[in-house]
Amino acid sequence: DPESYLSTSPWQIMSFEAEQHYKAALIEDAFELHDIVLPDPIEVATDGRVSHYRNKVEFSFFGFEDTESNYEYLKLAFFQRGGKGKIPVAACSLLPASMMDLALDICAYLESVQVTARQLKTLLIRCDQQGNCVWQLYIKEEACGFMSEHEAAGFKAQGGEVIYSDPRSPASRITKRLLSVGNVVLTDTILGVPFRYATEGFFQVNIPVYEQALSDMKQWTKSEAPIVDLYSGVGSIGLTIGGDACTLIEIDENAVREMKRNIKEQGSGAIAVLAPSEKALDYITGEEIVIVDPPRAGMHKDIIDRLLEVTPSRIIYLSCNPVTQARDVALLAKKYGIRAHKGYNFFPRTPHIEHLVILDRKDTFLA
């Protein structure tokens, strides 16, 4: 992607072998910042696929006018890395062909009816592992006069929506759904367990590598202890490896709604709790195995304090930011040691790396 790689995947400049090496080095450096020496050589798991792996993309738009004909051309675009400028794109090596083709078709339609970039925010597209796509077009106007239900249903997708997003905010947030066609809820299977999730909701971008991480995590949940899954999203960790005695805690109302539907459809005995993880500390009693998969900022201090207070025997910590993970592990080191750890290359050709740490209470190392 010579035009856009700096915006999407700047590590295209190196071989995949070099990328794997440097990602292991990033993990090592993050822990050394907190004077933590990881007990084993750092392994970075991958399925070997370096392109067409993403199941989600968000495009901006770039418009320019032919001054002679007054015709406005419309292009898909990504923002420049570290800036506010836009880069027009017609291809992206990280995306399956079905997603890129759908995005180009929607953009071509919008151009044909002379919708301008100024009227639009973003185009969000997600697909499941079978290649079924759902799209959401976020616009800055409260009426959708440029597209009918019939026209919206004509794109090669299982469903789509036009959404008014308040232009006073630069973020593509749902203010009002203006038009909806087809089935806009996606379904994927993770370790044999089906999950429903909303197009705009959080779900893993690279499911095959995510399944590798879950399989590894599952090896550390084989005791009879119940599970508490913090920052649980739609439940893709707890509902695959947590068993029926699992409590899932999530702050996002839409994610919890899908989680409850997943629990019902799976016939699981798991419990869904709508709350910020740091406000649900009573669910951490010390009798459970605690699983955490926090945002890039890491765990809330109140959660760390609670873990140190009640000392569950094991903490399973999956992180999208080894720097904040290392910070949290250093704080927990008063009572916990690292039993195992492993990296996962969820996002090939980018600097991002996931890291799993298994923390066991120090007295169990002597058992």
Same-domain check for residues 216 and 358: yes
Residues 6+ apart with CB under 8 A from 122: 58, 59, 60, 61, 138, 172
Residue at which a domain ends, from 155, 188, 221: 188
Residue 198 included in any domain: no
pLDDT at residue 178 is higher than 90: yes
Residue 70 included in any domain: yes
Residue 215 included in any domain: yes
For 77: left if phi > 0, alpha if psi spans -120 to 50, otherwise beta; the answer is: beta
Least confident of 117-126, 132-141, 195-204: 195-204
User: Distance between CA atoms of 357 and 351, rounded to whole angstroms?
Assistant: 19
Residue 48 CB-density burial (10 A; 0-12 exposed, 13-18 middle, 19+ buried): exposed
Radius of gyration of the chain (CA): 22
Same-domain check for residues 105 and 225: no
211-263 pLDDT, tens digit each: 999 999 999 998 789 999 999 998 999 999 998 889 999 999 988 998 999 99
25-77 pLDDT, tens digit each: 999 999 999 999 999 999 999 999 999 999 999 999 999 988 888 899 999 99
Domains of the chain: total: 2
pLDDT at 59: 98
pLDDT at 332: 98
Contact 192, 174 (CB under 8 A): no
Same-domain check for residues 175 and 214: no
Average confidence score pLDDT of the chain? 95
Same-domain check for residues 257 and 348: yes
User: Distance between CA atoms of 274 and 290, rounded to whole angstroms?
Assistant: 17
Same-domain check for residues 169 and 68: yes
Residue 320 appears among annotated catalytic residues: yes
User: Distance between CA atoms of 136 and 162, rounded to whole angstroms?
Assistant: 6
Same-domain check for residues 177 and 226: no
DSSP 304-352: HHHHHHH--SEEEEEES-HHHHHHHHHHHTTTEEEEEEEEE-SSTTSS-
Residue 195 included in any domain: no
CATH number of the domain to which 178 belongs: 2.40.50.1070
Q: For residue 120, what are the β-bridge partners?
A: 139
pLDDT at 244: 87
Average pLDDT over residues 342-364: 97
Share of the chain above pLDDT 90, in %: 86
Q: Which of these is catalytic: 92, 107, 246, 320? A: 320
Domain that holds residue 79: 56-188
Contact 105, 19 (CB under 8 A): no
Same-domain check for residues 359 and 263: yes
Average pLDDT over residues 151-159: 97
pLDDT at residue 173 is higher than 60: yes
Same-domain check for residues 166 and 280: no
Same-domain check for residues 128 and 46: no
300-323 pLDDT, tens digit each: 999 999 999 999 999 999 999 999
As a residue count, the chain comes to 367
CATH number of the domain to which 326 belongs: 3.40.50.150
Average pLDDT over residues 332-357: 97
Average pLDDT over residues 93-106: 97
Average pLDDT over residues 10-15: 96
User: Distance between CA atoms of 79 and 286, rounded to whole angstroms?
Assistant: 46
Same-domain check for residues 38 and 130: no
Same-domain check for residues 182 and 233: no
Residue 196 included in any domain: no
Q: How confident is the model at residue 4 (pLDDT cuts 50, 70, 90)?
A: confident
Cα 345 to chain centroid, rounded: 13
Residue 183 included in any domain: yes
pLDDT at residue 88 is higher than 80: yes
pLDDT at 367: 56
Same-domain check for residues 118 and 177: yes
Residue 78 included in any domain: yes
Burial readout 350-360 (b: 16 or more C-beta within 10 A, e: otherwise): bebbbbbbbbb
Q: Which residue has the higher pLDDT, 352 or 69?
A: 352
Residue 194 included in any domain: no
